[in-house]
Amino acid sequence: MDGYDDSTYGDAFADVYDEWYGEISDIGETVSTLLELAAGRAVLELGVGTGRLAVPLAEAGAAAGVTVTGVDTSAAMLERLADRDTENLVTAVCANMAGDLPDGPFGLAFVAYNTLFNLRTAGEQEACFAAVARCLAPGGRFAVETFVADPDDGPAEDVSVRSVSAERVVLSISIRRPAEQVAEGQFVEFTEAGGVRLRPWSIRYATLDELDGAADDADFEVEHRWRSFARVPFTPDADRHVTVYRLRSAA
């Protein structure tokens, strides 16, 4: 997508993210599982956004001495995180999750709800696994949550209505290019007071085999694979997964 860069998504969605996506997954179940995986050690969230998960995780982990650091490329998202984190429990860092991550060492890193796919090349996604491996403590884990990509899906274009109210209409326009493993689109928002607002998004999705390959190259192995952070067993028909990778050097 022309003109799209690492901060575009966060800057475009920061003001509506919690309204639109605040309930996309169960926060309580996610926090409980993450704390168990962290095993009392420091946690790093990639693509922390508004702190939807990081803040309740830091609150729940404080008694056990679990600290939480979050990275994001969008200053607008980090401003929303600061507004939510009134007790300054989360250490926020403006950084690319495929680049130089905080030193740690962390016992757990995680990237929730398709955020890994915001890295828009296979090389960046592989670099993310390598960067995470460098900042984890021995025995560290990396939890990845995404949809399960179907390589047999054909090209698709869609124009649909996301929401309608007396003061606002939001249309969703998207395209998918399977040969490139790319999906992108715009939410086009119309309001009487504000006119037209564009909210673009773009992802490069990866198959489970690709994710496992990137993990293997970074010296991870699969420890768990579930349908969700509720730890429901993963099955071949699942459309989502949470995979927990563990550094082999800990074995």
Residues of the domain holding 56? 8-149+205-250
| Banded model confidence at residue 188, pLDDT cuts 50, 70, 90 | very high
CATH number at residue 144: 3.40.50.150
Given a cut of 90, whether residue 249 has pLDDT beyond it is: no
| Banded model confidence at residue 1, pLDDT cuts 50, 70, 90 | confident
Q: Is residue 193 part of a domain?
A: yes
| Whether residue 79 is found in the same domain as residue 95 | yes
| Whether residue 78 is found in the same domain as residue 199 | no
Q: What tens digit of pLDDT does each residue of 5-53 get?
A: 999 999 999 999 999 999 999 999 999 999 999 999 999 999 999 999 9
| Whether residue 145 is found in the same domain as residue 174 | no
| Whether residue 127 is found in the same domain as residue 191 | no
| Banded model confidence at residue 100, pLDDT cuts 50, 70, 90 | confident
Q: What tens digit of pLDDT does each residue of 211-239 get?
A: 999 999 999 999 999 999 999 999 999 99
Answer with the one of 187, 203, 219 that is the final residue of a domain. Answer: 203
pLDDT, position 225: 98
Q: Is residue 244 part of a domain?
A: yes
Mean pLDDT of the chain: 95
| Whether residue 29 is found in the same domain as residue 114 | yes
Reduced 3-state DSSP string for the chain: CCCCCCCHHHHHHCCCHHHHHCCCCCHHHHHHHHHHHHCCCCEEEECCCCCCCHHHHHHHHHHHCCCEEEEECCHHHHHHHHHHCCCCCEEEEECCCCCCCCCCCEEEEEECCCHHHHCCCHHHHHHHHHHHHHHEEEEEEEEEEEECCCCCCCCEEEEEEEEECCCEEEEEEEEEEHHHCEEEEEEEEEECCCEEEEEEEEEECCCHHHHHHHHHHCCEEEEEEECCCCCCECCCCCCEEEEEEEEHHHC
| Whether residue 132 is found in the same domain as residue 193 | no
pLDDT, position 251: 46
| Whether residue 126 is found in the same domain as residue 140 | yes
| Whether residue 182 is found in the same domain as residue 85 | no
Q: Is residue 3 part of a domain?
A: no
| Whether residue 98 is found in the same domain as residue 172 | no
The count of structural domains within the chain is 2
| Whether residue 184 is found in the same domain as residue 217 | no
| Whether residue 20 is found in the same domain as residue 109 | yes
| Whether residue 173 is found in the same domain as residue 66 | no
| Banded model confidence at residue 192, pLDDT cuts 50, 70, 90 | confident
pLDDT, position 194: 85
Q: What tens digit of pLDDT does each residue of 108-129 get?
A: 999 999 999 999 999 999 999 9
**pTM score:** 0.94
Q: Is residue 243 part of a domain?
A: yes
Q: What tens digit of pLDDT does each residue of 71-96 get?
A: 999 999 999 999 999 999 999 999 99
Q: Which is more confidently placed, 153 or 112?
A: 112
CATH number at residue 175: 2.20.25.570
